[in-house]
């Protein structure tokens, strides 16, 4: 009886094993510890038949528990986009962006953990932007600028929607040699600015790399262009504008370089006072017509978006070095203004002292912000 029972139990076990094999098909290979690995699976981003895909979106193929073979991402006319396979062959990522409003197909193969081939076959269509927007920094490739020069990106109206700001900010990098601490700040929907914590060191090389093409700005607007721009920081030249002593003193590399008599904004009117604070030269103009005053200013250097300049004004020469009589600008004689203009670079810092009112930290007066307030304007929280 005992022997008969053993035979019966053995037959039952065999029957059970046979039933299990029929249900699951061929057994899954086991790992060294006897565990069964997870089933291999190919995942493609974006999903098959996806539409409205932004060109800046991740485009990749990955496989779990296996290896990818030759992966191709092909557009119209058979053009293949470049890509990179990870060292462990588990992920292929496109390194080239697709065009707008175009059809693309992933193809290729992968090998599962069981050694069997897994097909890669998926397609998607990129978005057709309502408004393609060209954005570039307000610097010239190969140019030389002063030690306070920011990287300033201007987005045409309606600008960048608040929810898209972080993605836009991450798409542009600033590289400096030597390394310089800095941060992006949004002063409004249309202006994104990177400035260093302190002034640049003379000779610093700054490279701006934009990956904005295909990035969504909101309201159907997308970045149209990518670019790389490199500029250099020149000598350290700083202007000390002393409104109390009525002097404009130029320092180069820490030593007095020029010293001019000047007239500043009249103190009798708070709206016209030249305010204390840190400015920088935004732009240079041999002639600039000030429409509000019907005045053609010579040798004009813009200090703010509020209409403040350093410029020549023959009408205030008698007061230069003695009284402040202007509408807020720093006035020099024609000779002195031309002489200073020839020494100045965009990005040179200008520090105003001696006034009764301080410059507010707002708008395009980037250097008026204390560092903690400036970094708070970044959409990417660190």
Secondary structure of 155-203 in HEC code, one letter for each residue: CCCCCCCHHHHHHHHHCEEEEEECCCCEEEEEEECCEEEEEECCCCCCC
> Residue 14: what pLDDT?
31
pLDDT digits over 109-155, tens only? 999 999 999 999 999 999 999 999 999 899 999 999 999 999 999 99
Helix (H, G, I), strand (E, B) or coil at 105: strand
* Res 39: pLDDT: 82
Res 4 pLDDT > 50: no
Q: Which residues pair with 106 in a beta bridge?
A: 73, 122
Is 290:307 a contact under the CB 8 Å cutoff?
yes
> Is the pLDDT reported for residue 24 higher than 90?
no
Alpha-carbon distance values, 22 to 15, 27, 28, 35, 332 (Å): 11, 10, 13, 20, 96
pLDDT of residue 37: 58
Average pLDDT, the chain: 90
Partners of 144 in beta bridges: 232
Write the pLDDT tens digit of every residue in 269-308.
999 999 999 999 999 999 999 988 889 999 999 999 989 9
State the Cα–Cα distance between residues 62 and 239, nearest whole angstrom.
Answer: 57
Q: Is the pLDDT of residue 247 over 80?
A: yes
pLDDT digit string, tens, across residues 39-94: 889 999 999 999 999 999 999 999 998 999 999 999 999 999 999 999 999 999 99
Instruction: Provide the pLDDT for residue 277.
Output: 97
pLDDT for the residue 204: 98
Residues labelled as active-site residues: 311, 329
Global pTM value? 0.85
**How many angstroms from the chain centroid is the CA of residue 176?**
14
Residue 26: which pLDDT band, with cuts at 50, 70 and 90?
very low
* SS3 call for 113: coil
Q: Is the pLDDT of residue 353 over 90?
A: yes
- What pLDDT score does 115 carry? 92
Mean pLDDT of 180-203: 98
What pLDDT does 221 receive?
A: 97
CB 281 within 8 A of CB 345: yes
What is the band of 225 on the pLDDT scale with cuts at 50, 70, 90?
Answer: very high
User: Are the beta carbons of 282 and 304 closer than 8 angstroms?
Assistant: yes
pLDDT of residue 379: 98
The burial class, CB within 10 Å (0-12 / 13-18 / 19+), for 303 is buried
102 phi and psi angles, rounded to 5 deg: -145, 155
Share of the chain above pLDDT 70, in %: 90
Whether 272 contacts 327, CB under 8 Å = yes
pLDDT band at 28 (very low <50, low <70, confident <90, very high): very low
> Rounded CA gap, 263 and 261, in Å?
7
Cβ atoms of residues 347 and 281 within 8 Å: yes
Q: State which H helix or E strand residue 106 sits in.
A: strand 103-111
Kindly report which listed range (22-26, 93-97, 149-153, 185-189) carries the lowest average pLDDT score: 22-26
The answer to whether 174 and 203 have CB atoms below 8 angstroms apart is: no
**C-beta separation of 351 from 344 below 8 A:** no
**pLDDT greater than 70 at residue 381:** yes
pLDDT at 23: 21
Phi/psi at 282 (5° precision) = -80, -35
């Amino acid at each position: 009886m005992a022997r008969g029972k053993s035979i019966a139990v053995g037959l039952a076990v065999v029957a059970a094993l046979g039933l299990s094999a029929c249900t699951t098909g061929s057994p899954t290979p086991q790992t060294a510890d006897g565990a069964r690995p997870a089933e291999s699976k190919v995942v493609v981003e974006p999903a098959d038949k996806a539409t409205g895909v932004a060109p800046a979106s991740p485009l990749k193929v990955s496989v779990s528990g296996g290896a990818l073979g030759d992966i191709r991402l092909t557009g119209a006319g058979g053009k293949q986009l470049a890509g990179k396979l990870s060292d462990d062959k588990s992920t292929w990522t496109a390194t080239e962006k697709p065009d707008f409003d175009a059809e693309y197909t992933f193809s290729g193969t992968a090998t599962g953990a069981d050694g069997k081939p897994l097909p890669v076959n998926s397609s998607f269509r990129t978005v057709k932007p309502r408004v393609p927007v060209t954005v570039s920094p307000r610097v010239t490739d190969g140019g030389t600028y002063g030690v306070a020069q920011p990287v300033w990106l201007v987005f045409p109206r309606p600008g960048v929607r608040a929810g898209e700001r972080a993605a836009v900010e991450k798409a542009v990098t600033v590289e400096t040699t030597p390394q310089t601490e800095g941060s992006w700040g949004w002063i409004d929907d249309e202006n994104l600015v990177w400035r260093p914590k302190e002034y640049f060191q003379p000779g610093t090389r700054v490279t701006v790399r934009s990956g904005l093409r295909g990035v969504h700005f909101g309201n159907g607007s997308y970045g149209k262009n990518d670019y790389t721009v490199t500029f250099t920081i020149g000598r350290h030249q700083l202007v000390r504008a002393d409104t109390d002593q009525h002097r404009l003193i130029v320092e180069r590399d820490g030593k007095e370089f020029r010293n001019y008599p000047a007239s500043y904004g009249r103190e009798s009117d708070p709206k016209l006072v030249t305010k204390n604070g840190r400015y920088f030269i935004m732009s240079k103009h041999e002639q600039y017509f000030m429409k509000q005053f019907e005045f053609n200013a010579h040798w004009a250097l813009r200090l703010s978006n509020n209409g403040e300049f350093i410029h020549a004004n023959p009408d205030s020469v008698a007061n230069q070095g003695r009284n402040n009589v202007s509408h807020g600008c720093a006035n020099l004689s024609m000779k002195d203004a031309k002489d200073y203009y020839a020494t100045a670079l965009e990005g040179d810092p200008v520090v105003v002292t001696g006034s009764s009112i301080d410059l507010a930290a707002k708008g395009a007066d980037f250097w008026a912000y204390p560092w903690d307030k400036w970094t708070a304007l970044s959409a990417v929280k660190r």
